[in-house]
Structure 1
Amino acid sequence: MRKILDGLFMGSAWLAALSMIIVLIMVLISMVGRLLNFYAPGTDAYAGYAMAASGFLALAHTLKRGEHIRVTLIVGKLTGAGRKVMELWALLVGSALSALIALYSWRLVMQSHQFHDISTGNDATPLWLPQMFMAIGATVLVIALIDEWVLEWQNRRSHHSEETRHE
């Protein structure tokens, strides 16, 4: 199971990286178009879609690497059972909030598909396509947070600290 989860998180990170490459390509096409006096319709919209996809698809991998910004004002001062309870609580709340984001993201995808919602730009992209990447990224984040909760419960979670991350 560990191998499958790690593969899911890494696959999501690779898709995020691919999305960043798509942003670069769209920006380059737009720049070259301006230099050579041609217009490539939709490049701005596609760059925006790819940027949003990249952000959401990278969330789980970033969490698993301990790179999310955390406010440890309280948790950092706790030790032992108190710290464990706070970590479990924070991961539970994070899981619940992320699950709501994922749920409503998937609802948005389904509604956009049902109503044939398209972008207002001249590219007329069906909006459920780019929205789907947000929903996928949010869902993978929920899985990552639940995984972190289970690892914390089993005392197998690695706590990333500022000192170990930057060495």
Structure 2
Amino acid sequence: MLDRVAFGFYKLLLVLAGIALIGAFVSIMLNISARIFGWNIPGLDGYAGYTIAAALFLALPSTLQHNEHIRATLLLDHVSPGTRGRMEVAALVLGTGIALFLAWFSVRLVWVSYTLHDVAPTGDATPMWIPQLSMALGCIGFAMAFVQALWSHFTGKKFFVEPGGEASHAD
């Protein structure tokens, strides 16, 4: 049950990442059009940056679940299966710690920006906590995914999705 809820949350974040990419495209195309016609629309560069960053952070959990993060397998390919398994667990533990710290930091950043009324230095003066929310959501999902991957490894459940689309055992 909890796995289904978590996987649904990762899918929701992935859909939001796709919407953010469309937003980045629209912002960039609008900016290009505005320059061609001599219009001044303040903040478009900032919005393009916000949406690109949103897409990056919101896609983190699904990218981990689909085992698509960059991995340095040069060493892993040359060690025994037992050593490889221990190194994989160590990487999951380290990744979990880093992801939890990122989640804590990003949530704190949103809170500080909100309480201090921090705004973008651009002409539109966007409250910074709004674009930072996507970073916080993505980091929370990333931390959840790492915790779930680590838990799945020890309980024998499936977490990582194989190319065919089904979850596989966390090796």
| Alpha-carbon offset, residue 17 of structure 1 | 0.6
Identity %: 31
Q: What residue is the counterpart of 2:108 in the other structure?
A: 107
Per-residue CA deviations over 1:5-32 (Å, capped at 9, x if unaligned) read 1111111111111000000010111111
Q: What residue is the counterpart of 2:93 in the other structure?
A: 92
Which is strand-richer, 1 or 2? 2
Per-residue CA deviations over 1:27-47 (Å, capped at 9, x if unaligned) read 111111122221211111111
Q: Using the alignment, how far apart are the partners of 1:158 and 1:78 within structure 2? A: 24
The 8 Å contact of residues 88 and 153 in structure 1, kept in 2 or not, is answered as: no
Per-residue CA deviations over 1:107-134 (Å, capped at 9, x if unaligned) read 1111111111101000100001111111
| Alpha-carbon offset, residue 156 of structure 1 | 3.7
Give 5+ residue unaligned stretches, structure 2: 165-171
Aligned-residue Cα RMSD (Å) equals: 2.0
Q: What residue is the counterpart of 1:31 in the other structure?
A: 32
Measured at CA, do residues 102 and 90 of structure 1 come closer, stay the same or move farther in structure 2, by a change above 3 Å? same
The amino acid that maps onto 1:142 is A
Q: What residue is the counterpart of 1:137 in the other structure?
A: 138
Secondary structure of 2:73's partner? coil
Measured at CA, do residues 61 and 70 of structure 1 come closer, stay the same or move farther in structure 2, by a change above 3 Å? same
TM-score (structure 2 length as normaliser): 0.87
The amino acid that maps onto 1:90 is A
Q: What residue is the counterpart of 1:120 in the other structure?
A: 121
| Alpha-carbon offset, residue 157 of structure 1 | 4.3
Q: Using the alignment, how far apart are the partners of 2:30 and 2:81 within structure 1? A: 55
* Paired residues, number: 163
